[in-house]
Chains A and B, each alone.
Chain A
Amino acid sequence: MRSDLFHITPSGRAGLLFALFAILVVPSVAGSQWLNIFTSTACFTLAVAGVSFMYSRLGMVSLTQVGLMGVGGWITLRLNYGLGLPFEFNLIASGLITIVFGWLLALPALRLRGLYLALVTLMAAGGFEILFATFQFPNGGEGFWGVQTGSREGFNRPFIARSDEAFLRYTIFVVTLGFLVIELHRRLAPGRAWALIRRSEAAAMSAGVNVSLYKTWAFGISGLLGGLAGSLLAGSLGLLDGGTFKASESVMIFALAVVGGANFWLGAVFAASLFRILPALLNNWGLDADLSLIIFGAGLLHAVITAPDGIAGQLMDLSGNLYKKVTNRGTGPNAGPPPHREGISNGSGRISRAFSPVALRLLQIPAHLLHYLVGTRITQTNPDTPIEVKDVVVRFGGVVALNHISATFSKPVSGIIGPNGAGKTTLMNVISGFVATSGGSVHAGGIDLTALASHRRSHWGLRRSFQKEEVADDLNVEENVMAQLDPLPFSLQEKQDEVARALEFVGMNDRARKPGKQLNSFERRLTDVAKCLVGRPGIVMFDEPAGGMSVDETETLGSLILKIHDYCGAKTLVIDHDVDLIARVCEETLVLDFGERIAFGKTADVLADPKVRAAYLGIEEDAA
């Protein structure tokens, strides 16, 4: 059976064929000027890929890429002229050291999101621009900075790629390797973690993803690609100049990544072509290369407003439609899957099963190492102990959202109800670790949960869903559930079995390969439930699971919730406005109102309590 880890999608095949064509044919037919242009383009393709995947996979805007390229180029030149090391070594060293710079850049990303993060990366780009302009590139001089004030010796290109033609081939080869690095990540645990982070950091944390780690890792990969690109550019020219690595160029690269189609490999090729080939063409035609800025800008606006997948996305749609037409007429039912939205964009890759134990084991080593380092070995000690919420206080500014709430949930399924703004979700967020408390604790299984970071609570066995179904669009059902298991120290076989079992339990096993973006809201909800059931959970929390569901769907959900304790031994907490659902599934219920606990006990008793009826059901009893 063929593994999907190494499965080549039709568009992947097209991409590899394109790379092969670029390696074999282009250098032999291009003129010398165009060889230079293509080499620059190939270098920038790699740099763009670093920005593209950050934007499309994690939703993070990085405006420092060209600065990171400069770092890679600087290191290569320094090693070449200072120590006379061979190019291969310089290339790898540049890539690795630039990873560290990427990590440094990630530091603010741990505390910042969205616009602020983009602004910080833009300022970092401005900083790099100034550093390069001040300290210059070590183009063959003396001293640490190696700036050259006299004539310099030649640059050592790799011995297999001394000529311009060979160097172009070499560059394309490295670029292809760079793409494969991203693709490999995408198909393994980091890809699933990134997809969750992009969807929602809260959902990612509650799935046990160490958000800081994976964001940092992504910045590192982006840095690696930028560093390699800069190193190759240095190899192509033999010297570099600060003018190439201005902040404005980083901004341009990002803009073009979006225009080209950040979701696709080909998008990066389009972006780099626009960046380097278009101005050269305009020059050759005797037109002002500044015109290309107008084209870039209009393209960016168009992409942002109407075509989020950029040029590559539109081409894929077009070719997908054509392909469909052709295959419908021609080969019939035996035709392969349509290439539409494949390649880098969709999560069609299946989780590897029995293939190539050696290769797969090797790939698992870094993952295991990572898990060892970040410690995912906490397992719950005694699942049958109750969940004890003690004296929890939460303040938002001057507002007291939870005022000394205590409750001990010991039944298999318990409910939390209350009017809007009562503090139900806040309590759940306290248990998940998303909200800082001003006092109090949550104990379960003999452990103080409040002492753990959010993702550690998930490793321990805490599961939750959100009011909105948090299913990553980029992953299929199976992968979404798998993401929950990625951080846990089970064998691959165990994980796969558990995913299959959970999907069968919720009744989604027939749709295991359906991409997240094609699911309806009930399917999403069921996927959420399946996610909560894998990895030996101790506590499962549902926040308004029946919100927006039909009566039938709520019925099904209720039955599932009732079976959870038997299925995996976890205790379940349910928030919902649907009193019928609460009455049906919850043995015990906590009632909150304006941050105060107004009742806790057997559900039937609680619902009959006059205070509850007054506060929640809106029935004002006479204060007799």
Chain B
Amino acid sequence: MLNSKYTNWILYVILMVAAVAWLGWGKPNKIVGLFLVSGLAVGSLYALGGIGMVVLYRATGVLNFANGAAGAAGVMTAWQLGQWGVWAPATWCAAILISLAISLTYGRFLAPLLAWREPVVKAVATLGFALIVLGAVSFLWIDDPRRFSLPTDKIGVYILGMRVTVTRLIAFGTSVGIVFAIWLYLSQTTVGLQMRALANDRDLSALIGIPILKVETFAWGVSGVIAGFTGLMFGDLIRLEPTVITFMVIPSIAAAVCGRLDNLGIVLIGGLSMGVIESMLTLSPTLKGARPIAPFVIAALVLLWYQRGTRLTFDSKD
């Protein structure tokens, strides 16, 4: 067991180094560096999206497609408040509060109606909710080119001769920080323990008296806050466009699939790797056109790797 784990990691490191070296070969270091930084920023967003989904999925069994829509609603609110001249930090808080509220609304009022259905039905239901939120957001803010920027865009740090904005550093730092914080939380606190119990076996947890509603609400809250933050970052770094932000859940899912909807550390590493590979592919003249497909190809390969040597069987529960 332990051996194969190390083999996986060594293989991963070798593959990543090989890919980056192959793509970056013969290019000036500064160019490779720019792509690496840009890739890490995009990858952090994939990872953040994936982490928000996995945290919720582990605790509640719901894969929430509405995470992106909640983030979109949040960042659009922040933009609107900014247009009205509201103090910037207040607009950011408003963004996170809006996503939190959207997430909790679904978690408290709609999710319980589907508590005992199969995971795929629960996921499909969140699609419906995502469409409602997206429809409302698109209705309130008609299509227009907009920009959302944070004051940190103007602040740059020079790393190895490249200017890196603080926003990118925040996106990267937060994704790493969140994984660490959640790991700490799950291992150190009672609610964390209860969340792990719930992830392990719902029925049993209910029987031994774990306050499911409380724990689930907490999970919805955490994922809502992460969604709000991801939305802010996405709106700033990529694009302020509700539909695009809503469907950023698709590459996020690729990151989540890398961690088998379970392991946050792998979700983080998977997301970052996807971002970096996608960005580095720009340097390949043949592959640059199709580079956004990288997350899906990587996720498919990872799935195949997980599935190697197994066949579809049924455990005794089936």
Where the two chains meet, the residues of A that have a C-beta atom closer than 8 Å to any C-beta of B are 61, 108, 110-120, 122-127, 130-131, 134-135, 200-202, 211, 246-248, 251-252, 254-255, 258, 288, 290-301, 303-305, 396, 401, 425-426, 429, 434-436
Contact = CB atoms under 8 A, between A and B. Distances in A.
Contacts of A122: 250, 253
19 contacts: A61-B120, A115-B120, A119-B257, A123-B257, A126-B293, A201-B314, A254-B124, A291-B139, A294-B131, A296-B131, A297-B133, A298-B132, A299-B128, A300-B124, A300-B125, A301-B110, A304-B121, A304-B125, A435-B313
Q: Which of A254, A294, A396, A429 has the most CB atoms of chain B within a 10 A radius of its CB?
A: A294
Interface string B274-318: 000000000000000110110111011001000100111111101
B318 A61 contact: no
B293 A119 contact: no
Contacts of A303: 128
Given A305-B113, A435-B314, A300 B289 contact: no
A304 B128 CA distance: 9
A504 B295 CA distance: 57
A201 B247 CA distance: 32
Binding site of A, secondary structure by majority: helix, strand, loop or mixed? helix
Interface string B201-232: 00000000000000000000000000000000
Given A290-B135, A293-B131, A434-B314, A126 B250 contact: yes
B243 A294 contact: no
Nearest to B289: A134
A115 B130 contact: no
Nearest to B246: A248
A293 B128 CA distance: 9
The 9 residue pairs across chains A and B that have the minimum distance between CB atoms: A293-B135, A297-B131, A300-B128, A297-B132, A294-B135, A290-B138, A301-B128, A134-B289, A115-B119
Contact of A252 (B131, B142, B299): B131
B235 interface: no
Contacts of A126: 250-251, 254, 293, 295-296
Contacts of B121: 304
Q: How large is the interface on B (under 10, 10 to 19, 20 to 34, 35 or more residues)?
A: 35 or more
Contact of A111 (B124, B307, B314): B307
B314 A202 contact: yes
Given A130-B290, A255-B127, A296-B131, A123 B139 contact: no
Contact of A135 (B65, B119, B289, B314): B289
A111 B293 contact: no
B123 A115 contact: yes
Contacts of A114: 118-120
B63 interface: yes
B128 A298 contact: yes
A112 B304 CA distance: 11
B134 interface: yes
Binding site of B, secondary structure by majority: helix, strand, loop or mixed? helix
A120 B123 CA distance: 13
Nearest to A295: B135
Nearest to A432: B314
Interface string B235-273: 000000001001100110110010000000000000000
A111 B139 contact: no
Given A247-B250, A290-B139, A301-B132, 13 more contacts: A61-B124, A113-B312, A118-B124, A119-B63, A123-B257, A131-B293, A202-B314, A294-B135, A301-B129, A304-B121, A304-B124, A305-B125, A435-B313
Nearest to B65: A251
A297 B118 contact: no
Contacts of A304: 114, 121, 124-125, 128
A228 to B, nearest CB: 26
A434 B313 CA distance: 5
B90 interface: no
Contacts of B293: 126-127, 130-131
B56 to A, nearest CB: 13
Nearest to A426: B316
Q: Which of A130, A200, A201, A258 has the most CB atoms of chain B within a 10 A radius of its CB?
A: A130
A115 B131 contact: no
B217 to A, nearest CB: 19
A118 B292 contact: no
Contacts of A108: 300, 303
B266 to A, nearest CB: 16
A116 to B, nearest CB: 8
A111 B311 contact: yes
A434 B121 CA distance: 25
A416 to B, nearest CB: 14
Nearest to B310: A111
Contacts of A247: 247, 250
A293 to B, nearest CB: 3
A299 B129 CA distance: 10
Contacts of A295: 135
A425 B131 CA distance: 44
B136 interface: yes
Contacts of A246: 247
A241 B310 CA distance: 40
B137 to A, nearest CB: 9
B270 to A, nearest CB: 13
B220 to A, nearest CB: 16
A120 B304 CA distance: 11
Contacts of A434: 313-314, 318
B139 A288 contact: yes
Contacts of B253: 119, 122-123
A575 to B, nearest CB: 13
Nearest to A434: B314
